[in-house]
Structure 1
Amino acid sequence: MATQDFRGKVVLITGASSGIGRAVARVYAAQGAHLVLAARREPALRDAAREAEALGVRALPVCCDITREEDVARLVRETEAAFGGLDILVNNAGLGLYGPVEGFSEAQLRQVFEVNFFGLVRVTRAALPLLRRRAPGSRVINVSSVLGHRGLPLLGGYGASKAAVNLLTESLRAELATEGIRVLLVSPGLTETEFRDARLNAEGWAQDSIPLDAMSAEAVARALVRASRRGNRETVLTLPGRVMVLANRLVPGLFDRVARRIANPARRP
């Protein structure tokens, strides 16, 4: 077993059945944390719980759709019944959207915001009483994206939902600071997961393979857990992601031109 930095801590992870969420669960479990794993796909969720328990910790799988108020309330009730409190909340669940602003439907955009933004708000608000029981020292970790810092062509709908997460994180960080609850933001770049397979696409639009090196879900998970241990307020992952964010701050006009070139070619029937 790996180091035990989080021995006995309780971590709730949304979107925990695959990708970054499942990888985060493994890293926390290897460091001694007990887990509450939330996602919609129950078989995969139970597999993730078994993986964690094989590392010697408790893992509670809770089938939960974070767009449903009643599911979120049940998630928090089961967490409280099993562990009595919560040390770390990882808001990881997300949904992608690809296509031009004039191409995706309002229903698609609302669906993305319902998962990426409103779902995050819903879970955070419900979990705050449990986080307060473990304060000072408890954490809220919001998983955003480099696209929440800088929009790119054909990714504006998804990026807008993550930009909303970024601003909400800043507000929440200030609101909870006096209570000893740290609010952290982790912004991955391109990551090798099933995320793109489940993404919504504007009608007639599809994305070819991306000609950039992607970060593994495991590498993102290690960086996230490291940030939670150190209390880093903001973490931007991948070198291209950090360069993009910095270039947009320093030379936004130049990066506007660059953005038109680095946007992945799309095909439309």
Structure 2
Amino acid sequence: MQKLDEEILSVQNQVETNKNQQASKAVFTHLHLKKLHEQVVVITGASSGIGLATARMAAARGAKVVAAARNEDALKQLVDELRSKGCQAVYVVADVGIEEDVMEIADTAEREFGGFDTWVNNAAVSIYGNAMDVKIADMRHMFETNFWGVVYGTRIAVKHFKDRGVPGALINIGSLFGDRGTVVQSTYASAKFALHGWTESIRMELEKEKAPVSVTLIHPGRIDTPYNEHAVSYLEKQPAHVGMMYTPEVVAEAILFAAEHPKRDIFVGGQAKFLATFGRLAPRLMDKWIQLTMYRTQHDDRPSKPREESALYDPGYGMHERGTNSGWVRDKSLYVEATKRPVATALALAGIGASIWAMARGKNK
């Protein structure tokens, strides 16, 4: 009799466990992320460019910030700046290409703030040069940062959100060159292709198991940051964006929107969407367009800095959001705004379509 009672109790416990698991999965079918002022946000590559702009914007909106990068002087200056404004922030000196360093970022967030709610994989560095000229050692080291750093951050963030049981946001910063290959930055494009593939794959796996993780891929176009100055250059002339680009604050806006609202993808800039769309629809035509435009718009007329002065192996200079690029810098992206307000955008487009149709009818009468 006692054995029968134990078996009945075991079955009841198993049924209860199954119910709890199903209820848990149901909760995560529609993820509800915390408001930004309630969040702890981890940002890699936070000492300059997009990461720096995102850290400042997140802190200004009430989030607690864990800033990570290799440049300790810049990180200390950033955290002192944020704290002087009444914000809560800590920093971690970390090379994201080293898994133990990435683990320390998470440990610091846990120790200082009890965990984190959004993890932004932003750290990256580029290499400018023809593919056949770039040293294999440089390629491998760049992949450690641009791809493996994202893998390490992803695995740590996902485990944290699963263990905690409260939905969180994983935000990976891709590139327009992760959707379409390019010349001169072939190694960078390859690493971003890998990042995009990784992000799409883990997103599907996590959705299948109804894990409490929102996975967003940001697709920035050309952004006015020190990215080019930090890059390794095999060119005679200094890498630079020449033409239309966007401020890093535009990308930061997209990142922080994704921190509160689950989104699959956010394109920052029409150029990013253009390359992704037409690269699929007319790949051969896009080959010719890139060959025609990208050689002359990825450098200016200054002599290139020596490769030894790049940020591939050592930290680059910090506390600069903007770079030394040449062209028209826009402070707003229509694609980001459309992503943030899809209903209003759809209604506006419908209104425009209706107006055009009405005018066409009027002309035909």
TM-score (norm 2): 0.68
Structure 1 Cα separation of the partners of residues 105 and 271 of structure 2:
36
Alignment correspondent of 2:65: 35
Larger mean Cα displacement after TM superposition, 78-87 or 31-40: 78-87
Structure 2 equivalent of residue 58 of structure 1:
88
Which position in structure 2 is the counterpart of 1:201?
233
Structure 1 counterpart of 2:241: 210
Could you tell me which amino acid in structure 2 is paired with residue 247 of structure 1? Answer: F
Q: 2:289 aligns with which of 250, 258, 264?
A: 258
Identify the residue that residue 279 of structure 2 maps to in structure 1: 248
User: Could you tell me how far 1:173 is from its partner in structure 2?
Assistant: 0.9
1:129, 1:251 → 2: CA distance? 40
Provide the rounded CA distance (Å) in 1 between the counterparts of 2:164 and 2:82: 22
Which letter does structure 2 place at the counterpart of 1:141? I
The SS at the match of 1:179 is coil
Shift of the 125–256 alpha-carbon distance from structure 1 to 2, 3 Å rule, reads: same
1:183 aligns with 2:225: no
Identical pairs, percent:
34
Higher percent of residues as helix: 2
Of 174-183 and 190-199, deviating more is 174-183
The verdict on how the C-alpha distance between 1:28 and 1:133 changes in structure 2, with shifts beyond 3 A counting, is farther
Q: What SS is found at the alignment partner of 2:120?
A: strand
- 8 Å CA contact 1:87–1:134 kept in 2: the answer is no
Output the amino acid matched with 1:20.
Answer: I
Contact 1:208 1:264 in 2 (8 A): no
Alignment length (residue pairs): 265
Task: Classify 1:208/1:23 alpha carbon distance in 2 versus 1 (closer, same or farther; 3 Å).
Answer: closer
Partner of 2:343: none
Classify 1:22/1:134 alpha carbon distance in 2 versus 1 (closer, same or farther; 3 Å). farther
Counterpart amino acid of residue 284 in structure 2: G
Aligned match for 1:174, one of 204, 216, 219 = 204
Alignment deviations for residues 164-196 of structure 1 (CA, whole Å, 9 cap, x no partner): 000100111122221120111001111111111
Name the Cα RMSD after superposition: 2.1
Partners of 1:232 and 1:260 in 2: how far apart? 33
| Residue identity opposite 2:50 in structure 1 | I
Q: Residues 33 and 180 (structure 1 numbering): CA distance in 2 closer, same or farther, change over 3 Å?
A: same
Q: Which has the larger radius of gyration?
A: 2
Q: Is the 8 A contact 2:39 2:64 kept in 1?
A: yes
Of 81, 89, 97, 1:67 maps to: 97
Distance of 2:120 and 2:176 partners within structure 1: 17
User: Aligned runs of 1:43-54 on 2, under 5 Å?
Assistant: 43-54=73-84
Unaligned runs of 5+ in 1: none
Separation (CA, whole Å) in 1 of partners of 2:191 and 2:240: 23
2: CA distance between counterparts of 1:210 and 1:92? 19
**Structure 1 counterpart of 2:88, which letter?**
R
Give the structure 1 partner of residue 250 of structure 2.
219
Alignment correspondent of 2:118: 88
What is the alpha-carbon distance in structure 1 between the residues aligned to residue 203 and residue 106 of structure 2? 21
Structure 1 residue 130: Cα displacement: 2.5
- Seen in structure 2, the aligned counterparts of structure 1 residues 67 and 57 have a Cα distance that, compared at 3 Å, is same
- 1:215/1:114 Cα in 2 relative to 1: closer, same or farther (>3 Å)? same
Counterpart in the other structure of 2:49: 19
When the two structures are superposed, what TM-score results if normalisation uses the length of structure 1? Answer: 0.91
Instruction: Provide closer, same or farther for how the CA distance between residues 39 and 209 of structure 1 changes in structure 2, counting only shifts above 3 A.
Output: closer
Quote the residue 2:131 is aligned against.
101
Q: How far apart, in 2, do the equivalents of 1:176 and 1:55 lie?
A: 38
- Other structure's SS at 1:95 match: coil
| Distance in 2 separating the partners of 1:29 and 1:140 | 18
Question: Which one-letter code corresponds to 1:187 in the other structure?
Answer: H
Give CA-to-partner distance per residue, 1:98-129, whole Å, 9 cap, x none.
11110101011101101000111112223333
Deviation at 1:137, TM superposition (A): 2.5
Aligned partner of residue 288 in structure 2, secondary structure: helix
Report the secondary structure of 1:141's partner residue.
Answer: strand
Gaps of 5+ in 2: 1-33, 305-365
Alignment-derived partner of residue 153 in structure 1: 183
